[in-house]
Structures are given as structure tokens and as C-alpha cells.
Amino acid sequence: MKQVRAIFNAFLAAVFYAVNVPLSKLFLQQVGPTMMAALLYLGAGIGIGALSLLNREKGEKLSKTDLPYVLGMIALDIAAPILLMFGLRLASSANASLLSNFEIVATTIIALFIFHEAVSLRLWIAIGLITLSSILLSFEGADSFRFSYGSLLVLGATVCWGLENNCTRNISSKSTYEIVILKGIFSGLGSLVIALLTGESIPAIGDILKVLLLGFVAYGLSIFLYVRAQNVLGAAKTSAYYAVAPFVGAFFSFILWKEKLSGMYFAALIVMIAGSILVVLDTLIRHHAHAHTHTFTHTHDGTTHTHTITHTHGHDHFITEETHGHHHTMAELDRLSAPQHTQEGHA
């Protein structure tokens, strides 16, 4: 039940985040990119802060040992949305939505090499397909070998969020409210200072309220559900379920922007869907392969003896030796595939 709730949270987080790209591109007509990033995160922090006042069970508070991860989380959450907003000025909304899936690749590779999460062959193939799709989407046209600078900026944002996901993973067992409030308020204030220093103007009050509301939904609620899911599933797996977000975002982009779709886009879309399906299948299969129990019952006539039980799943090897003489039942419960807590969402 805990796993099912976590998976549902991850999917819902993806849907909430999916509205970010097409609506942000719309609001960028009235709001500067860095100011937009600031207001989005401030909306997240203020909104979740208000919700926390209604909830008494806020979880374990962050401690001094969590400070490096908190600072890393905030710094990356300042950089990522600024890169995304500048990228949206140069790239199409549909392309930017699909390119967001590169966050899965970044999150998984960082989780593997820095935080030592397990990555299967199936997941490696999925990563390859998503990377190929991202490369296709990064070209300006089928007959052009010039990279789109907008696409590269979006990819830069996904790499920042991939690292941020892993930073947050290390503190995801702590108070979700506190994590999201810190993310929102301090990342928002950091971006706001940069916006003012670079000369971006303060938007009209109506535009501010619209962006704050978008930030509460697309960043605040999305991050909140993502962190809750990540505490159970881990960084790589939560990103896998989060793969639905770009497709929902691309669908919203078609409706809102009526963008013309090229042959390259459809080719990349097919490759991206294949990679995303593999990612989700990998998560489901690995969870099913771990979550079951084997029971052995046998009786001995009282003579003392020693026996060895070996049980192998292709990844874990358990050996138990015991000397005894009695009737007994031995149950072996495989460890669930929840990752170690030495390695997290995003938005």
C-alpha cells in the first residue's frame, strides 16, 4: 500500500508540474525570465507554508547535518528555473516539455555514480533512448546540424534538477513541509535578487498573482508529492514515474500554442515514449521481483545438525547456517527495492 501511494504521488506530481512549461511561456510575455523563476518558487513556498499551518503532523525537522544538502538544493533550484525560463524564450513549448525528460537521465546517472543506487540493464537502455530523443529535439531542423541554444538551456536546467533531486533525496525522510518551504522561499528570494540586480522590472500585481498561483501548483504541490514519493521509491525510480510530465506538458502546449510539429519532433517523440515505457517497466518488474516471501518448514527428530540455505535472485545472495534439533519454520523476506538513504524533485 505504501508503494502504491508513493507511485500515485509521483504521477500526480508529474501532472501538476506539466502545466509549468506551456503556462510559463505564456506568462513570459509579461514577466522577465529570472523574475518568473523567482515568483514560481515564492508561490511554492508561500502556498505550502499556508498548508502547513493546517497540518499538525509535520515530520522530523531538518538538522545541522542536513545543511550541505539544503544549501545545494537551494542553489540548484535558483539556477535550474532561470535556465528553463531563458530556454523557453528560444525553444518551442512542446520541445521544452519533452526535453524535460532528460532529467530522468541526469537524476539516474548522478544517483548511480555519486549516491550508488542500483541501475539495471533495462534502465540503461531507457537512458540511451531518452538521450537520443533529447539530441534529436536539440537540433533546429531535420536538415540542420546547428544546435538550438534554447534546447541546450533546457537541458542545462534538467541537469541542475537531476543533481538537486539527489541532494533532496538525502533529506526526503525529514519534514516535507519544511523542505518545500525552504526550497520555495530561499530559491525564490535568490532568484528575485538576481532579477533586480540585472534590471528586470517588477510585473503588474495581476501578473504576480497569476505566476504565484502557477508556482504553488506546478512547483509547490508537485515538489511536495515528489518528495513524499521519493522517500519511498528513491531518486531514480521517482524520476521514472515522473516521465509522464513532459508528455502531458507537450499535450497542453499543442492546445495552448497550436505549435507546428516537425518530422524530427515525431521521431523524437517515438524514441522518448519507448525510453519512458522501459523506465516504468523496469521499476514495476524490479519491485515485483523483490516483494515476496519464501517459507521453509521442516522437522528433525531431535538430532543436532547444521544446514545451509541459499536463495538467489540474481542480485542478492543470502546464506544462513544454523545448528539445531527441533521443528521450525524459516521465512526469508527479500529486501524491498527501496534505495539506500545515502543518495531525491523535484521541480
**How would residue 184 be classed by pLDDT, with cut points 50, 70 and 90?**
very high
Q: Tell whether 343 is covered by a domain.
A: no
Identify whether residues 170 and 312 lie together within a single domain. no
Identify whether residues 88 and 179 lie together within a single domain. yes
In this predicted structure, the answer to whether residue 188 has a pLDDT above a threshold of 80 is yes
Cα–Cα distances (Å) from 138 to 18, 23, 98, 284, in that order, read 20, 21, 11, 30
**How would residue 78 be classed by pLDDT, with cut points 50, 70 and 90?**
very high
Angle at 89 between CA 160 and CA 33, to 5 degrees: 65
CA 316 – CA 193 distance, rounded (Å): 50
Cα–Cα distances (Å) from 65 to 62, 68, 171, in that order, read 8, 7, 10
- Least reliable range by pLDDT among 136-150, 179-193, 249-263: 136-150
H/E run at residue 141 = strand 139-141
H/E run at residue 238 = helix 235-241
Check residue 91 and give its pLDDT.
81
Q: Tell whether 339 is covered by a domain.
A: no
Check residue 146 and give its pLDDT.
53
Identify whether residues 311 and 272 lie together within a single domain. no
Q: Tell whether 342 is covered by a domain.
A: no
Q: Tell whether 340 is covered by a domain.
A: no
Longest dimension (CA), the chain: 86
Identify whether residues 136 and 227 lie together within a single domain. yes
In tens, the pLDDT along 19-43 reads 888 899 899 999 999 999 999 999 9
**How would residue 71 be classed by pLDDT, with cut points 50, 70 and 90?**
very high
Say whether pTM exceeds 0.75: no
Contacts of 278 (CB under 8 A, 6+ apart): 122, 123, 125, 126, 129
Among the listed residues 284, 235, 272, the one whose alpha carbon sits nearest the alpha carbon of residue 4:
284
Identify whether residues 242 and 327 lie together within a single domain. no
Identify whether residues 322 and 252 lie together within a single domain. no
3-state secondary structure of 295: strand
Domain end, chosen from 290, 305, 322, is at 290
Q: Partners of 308 in the beta sheet?
A: 321
Domain count, the chain: 2
Q: Partners of 297 in the beta sheet?
A: 329
Identify whether residues 261 and 317 lie together within a single domain. no
- The phi and psi torsions of 60 (rounded to 5 degrees) equal -70, 135
CA 324 – CA 283 distance, rounded (Å): 40
Query: Running DSSP on this structure, what letter comes out for residue 221?
Result: I
Average pLDDT score over residue span 321-336? 45
Query: Running DSSP on this structure, what letter comes out for residue 114?
Result: T
Q: Tell whether 127 is covered by a domain.
A: yes
Angle at 166 between CA 165 and CA 169, to 5 degrees: 90
Domain end, chosen from 256, 273, 290, is at 290
Q: Tell whether 146 is covered by a domain.
A: yes
Check residue 327 and give its pLDDT.
47
**How would residue 172 be classed by pLDDT, with cut points 50, 70 and 90?**
confident
Check residue 73 and give its pLDDT.
95
In this predicted structure, the answer to whether residue 328 has a pLDDT above a threshold of 50 is no
Domain end, chosen from 256, 271, 290, is at 290
3-state secondary structure of 323: strand
Q: Tell whether 346 is covered by a domain.
A: no
Identify whether residues 278 and 307 lie together within a single domain. no
Identify whether residues 156 and 54 lie together within a single domain. yes
Identify whether residues 82 and 104 lie together within a single domain. yes
Q: Count the Cβ atoms, other than its own, within 10 Å of residue 181.
A: 22
Q: Which comes out higher in pLDDT, residue 303 or 128?
A: 128
Identify whether residues 216 and 325 lie together within a single domain. no
- Least reliable range by pLDDT among 26-40, 144-158, 278-292: 278-292
CA 129 – CA 194 distance, rounded (Å): 36
CA 256 – CA 252 distance, rounded (Å): 6
Q: Tell whether 59 is covered by a domain.
A: yes
Check residue 210 and give its pLDDT.
96
In this predicted structure, the answer to whether residue 76 has a pLDDT above a threshold of 70 is yes
Identify whether residues 206 and 318 lie together within a single domain. no
Domain that holds residue 317: 296-333
